[in-house]
Amino acid sequence: MSEALVDRRAAPALITLCSGPELSVRIATIPAFGTIMETVTQKELLERVKMQLASFLEDPQYQDQHSLHIEIIRTFGRVGPNAEPRFRDDFVLPHLHKLALANNSQSVESKRIDIAIHLFEAYSALSCCFISEEVMVNHFLPGLRCLHADMEQLSPEHEVILGSMIKECEIKVENRGITDAQGSISIASSLVGEDAKTKFLSKMGQLTTSGAMLANVFQRKK
């Protein structure tokens, strides 16, 4: 289906279905919205889809809708690795972090483990993506730590894997920090070197000029 057809027909129809009375129908639109986010590049269309997904996540009427949250997490895990990076960094990962944090307070154990398992699958899929240091520190790692806290109590085998994932992410952040610091030192050294070189050449120029003037003076005296 072309982007133009998605824009004219598919997206408006999905948005209309989201306003219907049946929750199950609204939930069923989520994977389709995810596919649009994964395959379409038109900015205005992507923004409309993002707004609809945001309403599912932020509207109080959906706060306790377990099935809806499961579908959103599953969709994020499926489309996140292929979605536009800014959408992933600005929307998918911050909302996964919020869902992981909220799940720490879930009092129904069956729901808590269900969400945790789906979060684990989503984070595993997204861990292969390039994630900026800022997003890693502010959302990806904190979300993993929230999930780790759940798995510590609910699923020890997942907890071990998450511990390794967290350690690996922390090492990546540390290494980026070291690389950035080395880069700054290298740039600073280069600038200092260039400054010293400029001063040296300037001094040499002055000495050469002075030498030439002295030579002229001696020639005149002769």
At 7-46, the pLDDT tens digits run 899 999 999 999 889 999 999 999 999 999 988 888 899 9
At 90-121, the pLDDT tens digits run 999 999 999 999 999 999 999 999 999 999 99
Find the mean pLDDT for residues 144-167.
Answer: 95
pLDDT at 42: 87
pLDDT at 71: 97
- Beta strand spans in the chain (E): none
CA angle 178/180/184 to nearest 5° reads: 115
pLDDT at 146: 97
Distance CA 74, CA 31 (A): 8
Share of the chain above pLDDT 90, in %: 62
Are the beta carbons of 31 and 71 closer than 8 angstroms?
A: yes
Distance CA 79, CA 13 (A): 21
Residue that wins the pLDDT comparison between 149 and 183: 149
pLDDT at 66: 96
Distance CA 71, CA 75 (A): 6
Q: Which residues contact 208 (CB under 8 A, 6 or more apart)?
A: none
Q: Which amino acid is at 153?
A: Q
